[in-house]
Amino acid sequence: MSANDLTLVHVTDTHLLAGGALLHGRIDTWARTAEALEAAARFSPDAVVVTGDIADRGAQVHAGAAKLFEHAARELRCPVIVVPGNHDPAGSVGATFNRKRIASGPNPADTVHMNGGLRIIGLDTHGFRESAGRLSRPQLHWLRAVLAIPAPRGTVLALHHPPIDSVLPALAGRGLTRPEELAAVLAGSDVKGILCGHYHLPTFGSLGSIPVWIGPAVSYNHNLLAPDGQVHDLDTSWFSVIKVGAGQLSATPVQGPRPAAVMSREVAVPARQPALL
């Protein structure tokens, strides 16, 4: 990678709650999100990409979240690009988000952004209150038309549901349905990488020859060594730094700030709870 590479900060699965409520009774997700966005300044991002589950269980937080992301955009002097997840009601990521978009698609959160010659396309993978996501045929037709003209420095896709499976059996079948349809649209295109969330677990894979990065969550993350049927490490909050260069893409998870008083705590929560995704 070189000094001319573009830097993206990838934030996902913030699971914000209304009225000062704490996630699982102890996690201040607003504070964790603000801390992640503040820490992003250290990396001088060219854009921040937020890949869904802004809210937890459909909480009415999107007006406040839009203000938070707009404030971050001013402080960081870069666009904040947002797509919804399965905890975000249909239409909740609308006109108050993605103000720097240069084009829109079939859904309000299908957006196109251009930054330093890099094109970032956000896709709404639907699935509110469902585990799996999907892309409609109109979305795929629109995406194919957008990609027909290459961008000067290539394209990165942002979507919530990963087009690859998780190593955790509890997450089986909870990614993007029919990923082969997306792969067919992307074949031969200038897409350099796909950024996703949803799994609360950093994972790298590929869709065809295109790298897929599933970022760790800002809210909390899974522990692969936890006993069956449980989730640990509610005190871990992460974001990612993505470097995009000529023919290259790298992803680095970054652990967010944590209060010293809770660094050694470990809490178990049943993995079957819908809130975990």
Average pLDDT along the chain: 91
Domains of the chain: 6-276 (3.60.21.10)
pLDDT of residue 277: 58
Q: Tell me: the pLDDT tens digits for 131-176?
A: 899 999 999 999 999 999 999 999 999 999 999 999 988 888 999 9
With b for 16 or more beta-carbon neighbours within 10 A and e for fewer, the 108-146 pattern comes to bbbbbbbbeebbbbbbbbbbeeeebbebeeebbebbeeb
- Per-residue confidence at 267, pLDDT binned at 50, 70, 90? very low
Q: What is the DSSP letter of 265?
A: -
- Per-residue confidence at 223, pLDDT binned at 50, 70, 90? confident
For helices 62-76 and 29-39, give the axis angle rounded to 10 degrees. Answer: 20
The model's pTM: 0.92
Most distant CA pair in the chain, distance = 52
Is the torsion defined by CA of 61, 134, 212, 214 positive or negative? positive
Whether residue 46 contacts residue 78, with contact meaning beta carbons closer than 8 Å, is answered with yes
Structure tokens belonging to residue 45: 């991002």
